[in-house]
Chain A
């Protein structure tokens, strides 16, 4: 029996504690990733683990780069990342600034302002699907009432409308994260910096530009990366709201991966899309994290 409390064996105890996690991750993350690369290199419909494997081929990647579907998904994903990221950053920052003011009941307001965070994605999507309903939805009613539109918007059959409907749900689910993180960032800005700026005669706007924003830059960077990766990887909102339709108008890379694999049962092609998505995600997060980390110092 090894005495783990003696200093000589302390690190062995550490490795022992780590072993279950390492083992599990190897089994359920690393092995599946390697397997998905393997599947993406095979001309396979329903993938199985076992002897009946196919010879490696680049057919799926050939399909990927030469089909309109992949490039459409890249374009849809990029548009969605920019729309959702941009608008939820604005709402997140505005709400964070608002509940950072001193007033009575502020902790309650903080609780409320980020409440959509606590609504499960499927539930959020179903609520919006009802509000956006083309016959009896409240949003069409309000828009008609305000004479902004002359006939109800068909959110299910119009590709542009469907795209914005998905963005709307994503923004509603995505801004609380921005708000919570930015509020924490705001609270960590030393009050002295504001006082110094005031002494120098800076008005509210200048204090925001020269004190608040530079201090928030690292937080904005991190949350932007998190939101980008979330939009890239999200499945539930798009799938429940539009299933990627109409005519691919809301088919992101994530939806294309799933659609190829589990709707058309072309898992080789699906895995190829997924592998490329994973590489894009890795590159983006490296680039963004690097840039904002350096701007923080």
Chain B
């Protein structure tokens, strides 16, 4: 690689800063709006710097709206979906990775194609099923519905990790008299820990981002809403309260941004395993 001239590297840094600035402007605008006094948002020209940051917007939000409850519901759903999908996904992925099973290829193909399913189609029969089971309005309905996407996803992503772990590892344990299940739990899983963590976080992100299922199954009472349903409704109802909406949005986005900073190097694996998009 030839050495870059001073002007060349200056131009490169300039380009990087301008591009990042443009692409990330909406995120900055969200933070800025959240911290602005409400009256200032209805004045032209808009201010591009927080002159008088209103930090109390977050505590006001928690006090006035059932916002804390929405966040709690979102966390409950995400954790339950994560545990369910990971448990089932680990077992299936291990079987697909280690055993040459009849129908295993077909199942792999099915898992890959299941991500093409339009969720708006799946939501109709699921609604009919949950209605007859009396599950509409229960957080479990969303957990089950999200599993239609997350279980296949977790299985596929974990299979990729198990494929990279040499089979000799658990064969040695089996020779030592370990049962196959114990070999999986005590020998393979600890080695696959980074993969497990990445897959769990991915499952968490997908669950946290869901809007369709929560919007369809949890409309009955406001106390059952998730963050996304709540924010979408705030946008519809109080169109002028943009600082409140942006504060709520910021709090809904922060956990995922945190996960992203941690997940970054696993992103490619997860994206090719067929995440939401």
Which positions in A face B, CB cutoff 8 Å?
4-5, 10-11, 13-15, 17-18, 20-22, 24-25, 28-29, 31-33, 35-36, 39, 46-50, 91, 94-95, 98-99, 101-103, 109-131, 133, 135-136, 138, 141, 145, 172-174, 177, 180-181, 184, 222, 226-227, 229-230, 232-236, 239-240, 253-255, 257-258, 261-262, 267, 270-271, 274-275, 277-278, 281-282, 285
Contact = CB atoms under 8 A, between A and B. Distances in A.
How big is the B interface, by class? 35 or more
A24 B120 contact: no
Nearest to A231: B277
19 contacts: A14-B101, A20-B87, A21-B88, A21-B92, A32-B126, A32-B129, A35-B128, A110-B264, A119-B26, A119-B27, A122-B211, A126-B235, A130-B29, A130-B33, A141-B46, A181-B272, A233-B118, A234-B277, A267-B124
Given A22-B107, A47-B127, A5 B89 contact: no
B209 A121 contact: yes
Contact of A47 (B12, B41, B45, B124): B124
Contacts of A267: 124, 127-128
Contact of B16 (A103, A124, A229, A257): A103
A101 B45 CA distance: 38
Contact of B120 (A48, A115, A130, A233): A233
A156 B232 CA distance: 16
B272 to A, nearest CB: 7
A32 B122 CA distance: 7
Interface of B: 1, 9, 12-13, 15-16, 19-20, 23-24, 26-27, 29-30, 33, 41-46, 87-89, 91-92, 94-96, 98-101, 104, 107, 110, 113-129, 131-132, 144-145, 147-148, 151-152, 155, 174, 178-181, 205, 208-209, 211-212, 215-216, 228, 231-232, 235, 242, 245-246, 249, 252-253, 256-257, 259-261, 264, 267-268, 271-272, 274, 276-277
B152 A25 contact: yes
Contacts of A99: 16
Contacts of A121: 209, 211, 228
A229 B274 CA distance: 11
